[in-house]
Structure 1
């Protein structure tokens, strides 16, 4: 039986390669933005989700909303 809450949700997860292309920044810049110990940490940056033992991704809609919010600055 399918959960009705999840049935209507269409989420796309993007991996690092697409994240870098979408944002126009390097992989290391993405990692710096998600690392609280980094001077370049950005608490507003979309949080990655764990996909496996060593794989992460981002919900594309969250990334798009973050970009849209930055465009207003």
Structure 2
């Protein structure tokens, strides 16, 4: 399992930090995983699945 840090999640999704955290608060994006006292990350496969779902929604329209 690979953990992505915030800069990589922002880079992969194209979302600004504020939107990313808004989506998390609204349960529209995978929650972060605590990896240290002051460190969080996201599971790569969950972020990739979220991106795939956005693509599927786009293609369905």
Is TM > 0.5 for Structure 1 vs Structure 2?
Answer: yes
> Is the Cα–Cα contact under 8 Å of residues 3 and 43 in structure 2 kept in the other structure?
yes
TM-score (norm 1): 0.71
Deviation readout 1:3-54 (Å, 9 max, x if unpaired)? xxxxxxxx1100000000000011111111112xxxxx2x241111001122
RMSD (Å), alpha carbons: 1.1
Instruction: Name the residue aligned to 1:55.
Output: 39
Gaps of 5+ in 2: none
Matches within 5 A, 1:1-12: 11-12=1-2
Secondary structure of 1:52 counterpart: coil
**Aligned counterparts of 1:68 and 1:27: Cα–Cα separation in 2:** 20
Instruction: Name the residue aligned to 2:19.
Output: 29
Aligned length: 57
4+ runs deviating over 2 angstroms: none
Q: Which has the larger radius of gyration?
A: 1
